[in-house]
Structure 1
Amino acid sequence: MKPITFWAPTIKVQRILALLLLIFQGGITVTGSIVRVTGSGLGCDTWPLCHEGSLVPVAGAAPWIHQAVEFGNRMLTFVLAAAALALFIAVLGAKRRREILVHSFIQGLGIILQAVIGGITVLVDLHWYAVALHFLPSMILVFMAAILYTRIGEPDDGEITTTFPTWIRNVAVIGAVALSVVLITGTMTTGAGVHSGDASITMDDRLDVSIDLMAHIHGYSMYIYLFFTLIVVAGLYKAKTTKHNKQLGLMLILFILIQAGIGILQYRMGVPRWSIPFHIAMSSVVVAFTSLLWAQGRIRVGGKATVTGSVDGDIKNEIITNPFEKKSKQPVK
């Protein structure tokens, strides 16, 4: 604790950092999709170096645009790691509860793991299954980052309260499973498609299934996910839950419909390159709002830790912000 005794950030600061982390977790999947659709996946052909014997791009080793796109995406990992570290230091300085500390630590650990998976993806020449395994953990990290954002806003000394019936949460779990199927079949559809990530990769290296069949399976699984989400939102209205929960539910349905529209448009137009980053971005948005709604099922309310989120953190914050006032209150010996 000694290195951060000088800092006890407020809940607002912690939530801003958590929101930035959530945005960056989703954002790096978009830049990763740009790497793929521009064929820049092997712009840096080794890992952790960009090229053999060089950490940075080398003139002539690959087209400069491919090197710039791939190397730029790698550098964004450090931005993401910095955001995760800043948040971890913030919740540690605010003396937040173990649940928040664990979630924050997992974010940092997940980023490191993702960097390693990304390196493996390059080393196996962007084989479709490696690309899929690189994308799916990002969705898990987005889901968990949204939960962390919610939990940070709850006082540590608050009382755990259920805001909507258990049956709704159970249906939401089924919906989450359906969402997982949507994401997995989505990566398989991509694996069977033409956007391999590099021009040197032939269709022989792609997933050997009918892309038309995979696209339909992907679409049908999305309809199943939408069906269960509609049941959840209808349940929220039936249970007369909070306005905030209802708004989250309606926004989630809206984003699912937008994502479905993008997917249908892609299928009709033959999956144009420009459409893929939008589809990937909306994947992160849908996952994030699914998580935000799920996290609202059980929250902490009340409590006296309204400044930093923890009682000890509030005391620490008061000492830091008003050191002379605290000293003046000490009894004279």
Structure 2
Amino acid sequence: MNFFDRLRFFFREAAPSLRAQRRVALILLICQGGITVSGAIVRVTGSGLGCVTWPNCHPGSLVPLKGAAPLVHQAIEFGNRLLTFVIAAAAIAAVVAMHMACRRRELKVYAWLNVAGVVLQALIGALSVILELQWWAVALHFLPSMLLVWLAAMLYIRINEPDDGTPQRVFPQAISTLGAIAAAALAVVLATGTMVTGSGVHSGDAGVGMEGRLNVDPQAMAITHAICMYVYLFFTVVTVILIFRHRLDPKIKTAGLVLLAVILMQWGIGVFQYYMHIPRWTVPIHVAFSSIVTACTAILWARGIIRTGGEPASATGSPAGDAKRAAYLENSARKKVTG
């Protein structure tokens, strides 16, 4: 059996363990959040048009060209584009892992949506370059990334739940309702955040002034964004208080406290930005915490309905995956003995 035959046999017969699946999902989650940070670095360094075409960097050239634009701008923008392939690989790995382990449809859907989202984001990125970084095109590029972070976080947290378990509602209806309101408020916070950026000084390209920017008062927009943040924080605080009053699982309480902590850190960064007139170096940090807040909100939301029961010592989280994994390990052991 040659290398390619062995590879095909592995992907057809093997089933990754729960730990391996979680690792793949965690890598995907980090990648989905990480590319938003690299995109922010593109913006604050004015590298958005370091590559002026898509998919090529410059007409007739897939890679940066000497003298076509400042080399550092080309390197930053081209590096950001290359990260798309890293995320695509992570998303495909998640899909492969879910199918190899014979996981339930919910997990496969999360994984496939991440693949579809990467493709969509690549197209939106091309649109933003073609439109020379119009503010709404850049905002349209950022917001789906937050949705993909949410989906990756849901995949990560739900992998450990057994496929043959029974879904059970953990949160009382009041907590579920408040959690939904908080999640909707977060979406508004993220949307208004893109408007603050769209009306501000960081255009994304060193050669672009305020043309193509959102024509509103940046200070008023920042205050609107802050008000939305306070609304989101209020509903989250009330949700966490109710979680403690109902004496739910300690893991849920921890998730709530972690979420409140990262929201407060994000709030502190935002206040600092406002009074210091948005220093460039703070923007990637603020964007990074946007991903962290979104992921933590998704994790707390996922705790509201969990699967219980099922096989307590499951290796893959799926009865079919466990049988497949056991057969693969048995065949592998037999081959080692005989050969």
Normalised TM-score (structure 1): 0.96
Q: Which of 306, 309, 313 is equivalent to 2:317?
A: 309
Letter in 1 for 2:275: R
Instruction: Identify the range of structure 1 (194-203 vs 225-234) with the bigger mean alpha-carbon deviation.
Output: 194-203
**Does 1:99 find its partner at 2:74?**
no
Deviation at 1:7, TM superposition (A): 2.0
**Counterpart contact for 1:319–1:326, Cα < 8 Å:** no
SS class of match (2:153) = helix
Inter-partner Cα distance in structure 1 for 2:271 and 2:265:
10
**Does 1:109 find its partner at 2:102?**
no
Show the 5 A alignment for 1:166-177: 166-177=173-184
Residue in structure 2 matched with residue 277 of structure 1 by the alignment:
284
Inter-partner Cα distance in structure 2 for 1:83 and 1:177:
28
Inter-partner Cα distance in structure 2 for 1:14 and 1:183:
30
Alignment coverage as a number of residue pairs: 327
- Per-residue displacement from partner, 1:29-54 (whole Å, max 9, x unpaired)? 00000000000000000101100001
SS class of match (2:225) = helix
Inter-partner Cα distance in structure 1 for 2:207 and 2:314:
57
**Unmatched 5+ stretches in structure 2:** 1-7
Deviation at 1:6, TM superposition (A): 3.0
Deviation at 1:290, TM superposition (A): 0.2
Letter in 2 for 1:82: A
Residue in structure 1 matched with residue 266 of structure 2 by the alignment:
259
Letter in 2 for 1:196: S
Inter-partner Cα distance in structure 2 for 1:185 and 1:105:
29
Instruction: Identify the range of structure 1 (303-312 vs 262-271) with the bigger mean alpha-carbon deviation.
Output: 303-312
Residue in structure 1 matched with residue 326 of structure 2 by the alignment:
318
Residue in structure 1 matched with residue 199 of structure 2 by the alignment:
192
* Aligned sequence identity (%): 54
Q: Which of 67, 77, 85 is equivalent to 1:78?
A: 85
**Counterpart contact for 2:45–2:206, Cα < 8 Å:** no
Inter-partner Cα distance in structure 2 for 1:6 and 1:76:
31
**Does 1:178 find its partner at 2:196?**
no
**Unmatched 5+ stretches in structure 1:** 328-333
- Per-residue displacement from partner, 1:158-177 (whole Å, max 9, x unpaired)? 11122221210111110111
Residue in structure 2 matched with residue 287 of structure 1 by the alignment:
294
**Counterpart contact for 1:40–1:70, Cα < 8 Å:** yes
Q: Which of 246, 249, 259 is equivalent to 1:242?
A: 249
- Per-residue displacement from partner, 1:94-138 (whole Å, max 9, x unpaired)? 001111111110100000100110010001000000000000000
Inter-partner Cα distance in structure 1 for 2:143 and 2:9:
37
Deviation at 1:325, TM superposition (A): 7.4
* Cα 1:326–1:165 shift into 2, 3 Å: farther
Letter in 1 for 2:330: N
Q: Which of 25, 42, 48 is equivalent to 1:41?
A: 48
Deviation at 1:326, TM superposition (A): 8.6
Inter-partner Cα distance in structure 1 for 2:134 and 2:171:
44
**Does 1:210 find its partner at 2:217?**
yes
Residue in structure 2 matched with residue 331 of structure 1 by the alignment:
none
SS class of match (1:203) = coil
Residue in structure 1 matched with residue 139 of structure 2 by the alignment:
132
**Counterpart contact for 2:37–2:284, Cα < 8 Å:** yes
Residue in structure 1 matched with residue 151 of structure 2 by the alignment:
144
**Does 1:162 find its partner at 2:169?**
yes
Deviation at 1:3, TM superposition (A): 7.4
Residue in structure 2 matched with residue 231 of structure 1 by the alignment:
238
Computed over aligned residues only, the root mean square deviation of the Cα atoms, in angstroms, reads 1.4
SS class of match (1:60) = coil
* Cα 1:13–1:325 shift into 2, 3 Å: closer
SS class of match (1:69) = helix
Normalised TM-score (structure 2): 0.94
